[in-house]
Structure 1
Amino acid sequence: MKGAINMAGNSHIEWTEATWNPVTGCSKVSEGCKNCYALTMAKRLKAMDNPRYVNGFDVTLHHDLIEMPLRWKKPKKIFVNSMSDMFHENIPLDFIKEVFKVMNEAHWHTFQILTKRSQRLLDVSAELKWTDNIWQGVSVENNRVTDRIDHLRQTPAKVKFLSCEPLLGSLPNLNLDGIHWVIVGGESGARARPMKEEWVYEIRDQCVEQEVAFFFKQWGGVQKFRNGRLLDGRTWDEYPEVDNVINA
């Protein structure tokens, strides 16, 4: 499909299988946004005259892509809005409801939503239908934004997760009550900020202690593939035990 680049399809993101972008574009809200990969990619795609990015990185709704997951018959883990933020203030609630309606109908898929705008998530969450196949997460890059976890905890989402990527500081006192999954990763790219080993072990140990699934995505760095994703000589690719979560 013309213009479908980075809109939907197979993903190289380690913790998902596909991406779906009914919205593109965003704006920066915290330190984790400083070197936004999606902004860089959007600029490149606009320069390539990709029709989906005529607005660059301004928030843009793609109504014609909303029903795309219904055409994918094989079950997938789908990262929703990898090029935006579902709860951005410029996305109308009615549009969010349309996206949720498709996720409700496409029950054979697992949808993974990630936001930095946890207050809006909480504000509108009661107006959305949270079927079991919708996993909701918040980004927690350092101790300054841990309030996002409290907002997430108050939503009706059955499966709740944290993305500590890019991890920019120590998170020594995580309250993981009601949280089912934690992803950790270092920043990558030319301006990658460093991630200390002890920060990773600190979170891993808290997940083990509190019996929360732990997924280590990458060490990151300017050339992330050189650094890999091994921790203690092994990969950590844990996922939440969904049946136990839903039936709890």
Structure 2
Amino acid sequence: MGERSKIEWTDHTFNPWIGCTKVSPACDHCYAEAMMDARYGRVRWGAGEDRARTSAANWRLPIRWDREAAATGTRPFVFCASLADVFDNEVDPLWRSDLMVLIEKTPNLIWLLLTKRIGNVVKMTDPARGNRMLPPNVALGATLPNQVEYDRDRIKLREAGAANGVLFTFGSFEPMLGPVILDCNAPDWIICGGESGSGAREMDPAWARHLRDGSKRFGRAFFMKQMTGKRPIPDDLLIRELPNPKASPHV
């Protein structure tokens, strides 16, 4: 659940707990649910199901990554979470508070918090409600698989990012389920990807090209992760730009 990530746009992946509930068309073919079912024979998914906190040993991994980053003068990206959602309504708020403490203790890491529940972020990071704000080494992202969800959530992402003073915002257009027209409220970093796995829904390469062009038009970094079914990426789409946050070593 950590070490070097196989996800192309991050260095490490960290899961503070496991389990979620599907809330978007992007969740329909959830790879995390399928993986947990195949690996453990028990799916911790759905409303009312347990969320399983990961081991203390797993929680110590970011401390080591931070120490290594300090020694090398780098600031690696940590994606959180691939098997859960940090802003899930059914997660114990104390777990989320523990995660914020861990992030604060690892200032040499840039934490990429990606959610399908961007509307929860402001209230779940509101000190007036007894919650912790996002630490200063966080980038905040939302999954935006189609035009409807982009139109609904892009302002929420911008406002939640501004309220918490995040390094940058990012949008995961994966799986990309239709064409998306960007505007001046687009996230700072645009990640595009087709679906993979059994029954993958097809992404028209024209959608990815349009997203690439929109990213350029509005001065956003564009990262092409994969085509449908992990087919080869066409040369004109093989662009893997990284964002320019306030303190990123990646640029």
TM-score by length of 1: 0.85
- CA change 1:93–1:63 in 2 (3 A) is farther
Secondary structure of the corresponding residue to residue 95 of structure 2: helix
Pairing 1:82-231 to 2, within 5 Å after superposition: 82-127=82-127, 128-146=132-150, 147-155=152-160, 156=164, 157-172=166-181, 174-177=182-185, 179-221=187-229, 224=230, 227-231=231-235
Secondary structure of the corresponding residue to residue 62 of structure 2: helix
Report the Cα distance in structure 2 between the residues aligned to 1:175 and 1:97, rounded to whole angstroms: 34
CA contact (8 A) 1:66 1:98 kept: no
Deviations 1:68-118 (A, max 9, x none): 311222233111111111111111222212101111120111111110011
Question: Stretches of 4+ moved more than 6 A in 1?
Answer: none
CA contact (8 A) 1:213 1:240 kept: yes
Report the Cα distance in structure 2 between the residues aligned to 1:214 and 1:204, rounded to whole angstroms: 6
Q: Once the two structures are aligned, what percentage of the paired residues are identical? A: 29
CA contact (8 A) 1:184 1:215 kept: yes
Whether 1:235 aligns to 2:238 is yes
Aligned length: 227
Whether 1:44 aligns to 2:49 is no
Where does the alignment leave 5 or more consecutive residues of structure 2 unmatched?
70-75
Whether 1:69 aligns to 2:62 is yes
Report the Cα distance in structure 2 between the residues aligned to 1:207 and 1:56, rounded to whole angstroms: 36
Pairing 1:18-29 to 2, within 5 Å after superposition: 18-29=12-23
User: What displacement does 1:244 show?
Assistant: 7.7
User: What displacement does 1:243 show?
Assistant: 2.9
Where does the alignment leave 5 or more consecutive residues of structure 1 unmatched?
1-6, 48-53
Output the aligned Cα RMSD. Answer: 2.0
Alignment counterpart, residue 14 of structure 1, candidates 8, 11, 18: 8
Secondary structure of the corresponding residue to residue 154 of structure 1: helix
Report the Cα distance in structure 1 between the residues aligned to 2:146 and 2:214, rounded to whole angstroms: 15
Point out the more displaced range, 163-172 or 198-207. 198-207
Secondary structure of the corresponding residue to residue 214 of structure 2: helix
User: What displacement does 1:176 show?
Assistant: 4.1
- CA change 1:178–1:184 in 2 (3 A) is closer
CA contact (8 A) 1:113 1:134 kept: yes
Give the aligned residue type for 2:141.
G
User: What displacement does 1:240 show?
Assistant: 0.9
Deviations 1:1-58 (A, max 9, x none): xxxxxx22221111011111111111111110010000010001213xxxxxx66444
Give the aligned residue type for 1:114.
L
User: What displacement does 1:231 show?
Assistant: 4.3
Whether 1:59 aligns to 2:30 is no
CA contact (8 A) 2:167 2:247 kept: no
Partner of 2:73: none
TM-score by length of 2: 0.84
Partner of 2:72: none
